[in-house]
Amino acid sequence: MCGIVGILSGTAKNLEYQIWSMLEAQHHRGPDDWGIWSDEICALGHRRLSIIDLSEAGRQPLSNEEGTCWVTFNGEIYNFQILRQELEGWGHGFRTQTDTEVIVHAYEQWGTACVERFRGMFAFGLWDQRRRRLFLARDRIGKKPLFYTQIGNSFLFASELQGLLANPLVPREVDFTAIDAYLSWGYIPAPKTAFRNVYKLPPAHRLTLEPTPSGFQIQVERYWSLTYLPKLPIGEEEAAEALREKLTEAVQLRLRSDVPLGAFLSGGIDSSIVVGLMAKLSHRPIKTFSIGFEEVNYNELAYARCVARQWDTDHHEFIVKPDIFPILPKLARHHGEPHADEASVPTLYLSQMTRAYVTVALNGDGGDENFAGYERYRGNQMADWIHRIPGGGQTLKLLTHILPDSPDPKSPLRRLQRFLTGIHPSITERYSRWVGYFSETQKDKLYKGDLRELLTKKRPEAWLESLFEEVKDLNPVEASMAVDVQSYLPFALLVKVDITSMANSLEVRSPFLDHEVMEFVAKLPSQMKLRGGTSKYLLKVAFKDLLPTEIPRRRKMGFGVPVGEWFRGPLRPWLPDTLLSKRSFIGECFKLQEVNRLLTQHLDRQVDHSLKLWNLLMLELWYQELLTR
């Protein structure tokens, strides 16, 4: 796991000097070593976190035998040993034991189609001197990030926005259409970023660039997508056996490491299964790491301990306390653009604790998206049934005006309110209301006149509608799952994990996100994922022997954070100064009386606005960290 950078330029001088500043901004991603290579128009840089082949032979950038093809790589190719054997059969020679070298020879053998053979998480930049071609690629699910920009006749790429912005060529101009999307979803979907003319390479995409006399010829294309149809003609027993085999293999592949490894353990089904499989596949006790809160409704440590006891793990815990304001600017800086997942806070602490013991950790990410684990999937199923009943939707809509509001986001009343608020005939509208932060109406109230006029014709809902249009042949449950795989999963959840773990020089691996596991599960019958009111049905059947009896029966808690209470308590003195200053970014763009209304209602316990306020807080801190320094 590493940090990568690169520059391709027709006229720029001192490319290695520019690369160095970009590398240093990503030191945390690879503190063990660094390397730079350049020719007359291209320079590549690499910060190394040593995982496999710890010798100097693993230093990057790395080339083929002739030195005509160079790569800088971030991630892991889990099937590299199989690919290496195949490539050796084609006559390719290897000098190292790294997975990086496989990328170079796979490109020589199969061209840009090589990414379709890789099983893993990756982002890389490869310079082909013979063809004068720059080739960038990103893994199927979006585990590893990759940003790029073109400034005049220079093309730059990096693992993080911090890396790009360290180059003085890159202007820091806010893209307000991206900020509009952020207010809606809490993240900025690819290819946009918060900065104009700076882009994310989307997951499962490759980019080729060739210099021409008039500039650059750039092509971006998708090379993979997850399909749910046709369904496999398979029974429950056979499906459970096949799932067990595939997930066990995915875990085993991710145990390959030349440095110590462990596991994040939340006490939920997904991480508990991963820990159980690790324990069965390992010859020594697994190191497990869990995080909790003083607030009882958010604390899952008791369940994590239950799993740790069953497998006799070397278990470690950390309690997150509400004195978090000093770390929030650090979070904003590492993200590089506004990101509103409040679980970044505990994940940062969890990664920090874990890194004190190991360099690699496995987790349970992807279990919910594969097996219908989120409540919104069941909510979509119920909403679809209700709207099939004449007058059903109207009856429930009336209830939204009768039920009192609850300031407690964990209460059953609040969950019912959220369901009723989102119950709409359109699946796109339901999804928006359940996962969104600010609606279009709420944003209109928030924006000052000039900004509202600018954004009126460029609203983010069209993007979401296009995602649901792609999966219109699926039932409401699987349509929502498919959209999550293309939106929430790569742009919110995986960004959070990558940024917070790599800020602590920790590599995180996710067996449930193995693309072969995902392809198999996607084509299973829908009722094997959500059966009646039971989510993750087949997962619980296939791995019941690995789970303590308390785990499958418990209600899903999610990685929630008590920011609402923190805002009313220890963080209360900070909020007015940060959110209501006329000199702030928020004060410049938004109506402060509307921001003050949200804040007052929340502090007085009239309405829970914790997620909206967190969204605004991280937006302001991003601006302070990235655009005022």
Query: What torsion, rounded to 10 degrees, do the Cα atoms 106, 107, 113, 116 define?
Result: 40
Q: Are 125 and 44 in contact (CB under 8 A)?
A: yes
Pair of tokens at residue 498: 């990558």
Pair of tokens at residue 222: 């998708």
- Beginning with the edge strand found earlier in the chain, give each strand of the sheet holding 261-264 in spatial order: 314-320, 287-293, 261-264, 360-362, 507-509
Pair of tokens at residue 290: 């869990």
10 Å Cβ neighbour count for 199?
19
10 Å Cβ neighbour count for 600?
13
Pick from 202, 221, 193: which is nearest to 146 by CA? 202
What is the H or E stretch that residue 603 is in? Answer: helix 592-603
Alpha-carbon distance of 124 to 110, in angstroms, equals 16
Phi-psi region of 567 (alpha: psi -120 to 50; beta: other; left: phi over 0): alpha
44 φ, ψ to 5°? -125, 145
566 φ, ψ to 5°? -65, -40
Alpha-carbon distance of 405 to 437, in angstroms, equals 17
Contacts of 107 by beta carbon, 8 Å cutoff, 6+ apart: 69, 71, 114, 126, 128, 135
Which DSSP string do the residues of 518-549 spell out, in sequence order? HHHHHTS-GGGTEETTEETHHHHHHTGGGS-T
Q: Are strands 2-9 and 33-38 parallel, antiparallel or unpaired?
A: unpaired
What is the H or E stretch that residue 499 is in? Answer: helix 494-502
Pair of tokens at residue 565: 């209470």
Catalytic residue among 2, 42, 69, 114: 2
Q: What is the 3-state secondary structure (H, E, C) of 248-315?
A: HHHHHHCCCCCCCEEEECCCCHHHHHHHHHHHHHCCCCCEEEEEEECCHHHCCHHHHHHHHHHHCCEE
- Beginning with the edge strand found earlier in the chain, give each strand of the sheet holding 133-138 in spatial order: 62-63, 69-77, 120-128, 133-138, 205-212, 215-222
Helix (H, G, I), strand (E, B) or coil at 590: strand
The answer to whether residue 2 is catalytic is yes
Alpha-carbon distance values, 541 to 240, 307, 512, 544 (Å) = 7, 17, 16, 5
Q: Are 50 and 32 in contact (CB under 8 A)?
A: yes
Q: Are 101 and 73 in contact (CB under 8 A)?
A: no
Q: Are 494 and 371 in contact (CB under 8 A)?
A: no
Burial label for 66, CB within 10 Å (0-12, 13-18, 19+), is: exposed
10 Å Cβ neighbour count for 551?
22
Q: At what angle do helices 269-281 and 236-253 cross, to 10 degrees?
A: 70
Enumerate the active-site residues: 2
